[in-house]
Amino acid sequence: MKIFLSEIKEIESEYRFSGADDPWLVQAVTELDERDEATPGLSPNAKTVQRDVDAEFTLHQVDGVVVMNGSVDSSLQLLCSRCASRFDQPVTPRFIALFSRDPAMAGIPAKRDANGHRRYVSKGTAKSTHDPADMDLDITYLTEDYIDVKAVVSEQVQLQVPFQPLCQEDCQGICVNCGADQNRGRCACARLVKESAFAALGKLKLGPH
């Protein structure tokens, strides 16, 4: 999904998307689902997973900088870091993003070549001192004349993924001995008494000297 910069004016424009009508939006989220070995990733021709996804944002330009103020409401399928079970994690990012086609505006450094011409030496997101909306935010340098909305949604949703996902705060995890899910009840391993290698020596009866 692309929105060309020529379509973005100084007056705010509103955009609303729904997974029911925009398959690319569902794909932007489902591509971030965690999958174990038994659940392979989506192939390029695979159908997108049915899921509720809604996104809305506004766009406007200020002094050569595009300001995007948006939100996404959906969920991800993650694997619990303790019990490895699959669960749904709500994701509701609210974000403000800035974009510009001007590399200097995006804070990208430039060097002069042998002819004295300025050459910009890097691409991506860089810090800029220019602040069109009194916000201390990074400005993303656009190498094309459009904004890839799918990529923006995917990036913002990915930022919502916890470092260690948990299916529930008090997840008991799996037994390190037998691998049983302890959220479904204690396994028999907890009742087993493990004897050391020298425990049998205590049962030996020593004869008279």
pLDDT tens, residue by residue, 190-205: 565 454 455 555 555 6
DSSP state of 71: E
| Residue owning tokens 């591509």 | 31
Q: Is the pLDDT of residue 39 over 80?
A: no
The yes-or-no verdict on residue 131 having pLDDT over 70 is no
The total of structural domains in the chain comes to 1
The contacts of residue 176 (CB under 8 Å, 6+ apart) are none
Mean predicted confidence (pLDDT) in 12-41: 81
The answer to whether residue 206 is domain-embedded is no
Of 192 and 11, which is predicted with more confidence?
Answer: 11
Count the neighbouring beta carbons within 10 Å of the beta carbon of residue 68.
Answer: 21
Tokens 């011409």 label which residue?
117
Tell me, yes or no, whether 175 lies in a domain: no
Lowest mean pLDDT among 22-26, 120-124, 173-177: 120-124
Give pLDDT, residue 71.
93
- Give the range with max mean pLDDT: 11-15, 130-134, 135-139: 11-15
pLDDT at residue 143 in the model:
85
The residue range of the domain holding 95 is: 2-170
* Domain assignment of residue 191, yes or no: no
- Share the mean pLDDT of the chain: 76
Q: Is 204 exposed, middle or buried (0-12, 13-18, 19+ CB in 10 A)?
A: exposed
The answer to whether the CB of 105 falls within 8 A of the CB of 128 is yes
Read off the pLDDT of residues 85-127 as tens digits, 9 standing for 90 and up: 899 999 999 999 999 888 777 776 655 445 554 443 433 433 3
Residue 187 has pLDDT above 90, yes or no: no
Burial class (CB in 10 A: 0-12, 13-18, 19+), 106: buried
Instruction: Give the percent of the chain with pLDDT over 70.
Output: 69
Whether 183 is in a domain gets the answer no
67-83 tens-digit pLDDT: 999 999 999 999 998 88
Of the two residues 45 and 141, the one the predictor is more confident about is: 141
User: How many angstroms separate the CA atoms of 80 and 100, rounded?
Assistant: 39
